[in-house]
Amino acid sequence: MHQHTYIYTHIIHTYIHTHIRTYIHTHIRTYIHTHIRTYIHTYIFFPNIEDRLKLRINPTPNFTAIVTGHGNIKTYLHKFKIIENPTCPCNKEDQTVDHTIYSCKLHEQERDRMKASIIKPEHWPVSKHKLVQKYYNNFKQFTDNIVLNKE
């Protein structure tokens, strides 16, 4: 009789465990797919949470805006109809995170300073992930020295 109780308890435990695991995985997957647009900018910079947690980050408004794609970036402000025009003050294209980091003429001097320390071991352009993982101090200095959305 004791053996039957054990088998019955084990079957119920296994059944419940399997269903809870399936439920959690399904909902996490659904949540991620639903919110992927929100997290994609940050994920590109920090695809691995363990690597992110190893960094000692001192966030500033510009750093946060660049890494999340939220904040004082004109395409973000335009998306919520806060401003009428997403064009960068340099008038070349929309002010996006990529444009700000890699090509905006208004940030050329700061970018050149950052590139000078990166080009020695790497080829430019460097991925966003490498910018924060390997060159955090240089990237942080770049984000701290640029002025976003100036008109």
Q: Are 7 and 64 contained in the same domain?
A: no
Q: Are 66 and 39 contained in the same domain?
A: no
Q: Are 39 and 98 contained in the same domain?
A: no
User: What pLDDT, on the 0 to 100 scale, is given for residue 98?
Assistant: 96
Instruction: Determine, yes or no, domain membership for 140.
Output: yes
The total number of structural domains that make up the chain: 2
**How much of the chain exceeds pLDDT 90, in percent?**
52
Q: Are 140 and 83 contained in the same domain?
A: yes
Residue ranges in the chain whose pLDDT is less than 70: 1-11, 13, 25, 28-38, 150-151
Instruction: Determine, yes or no, domain membership for 150.
Output: no
Residue range(s) defining the domain that contains residue 41: 2-45
- CA-to-CA dists, residue 36 to 40, 41, 97, 127, 132, angstroms: 6, 9, 17, 20, 20
This prediction has a pTM of 0.74
Dist CA 45 CA 132 (whole Å) = 7
Dist CA 71 CA 85 (whole Å) = 15
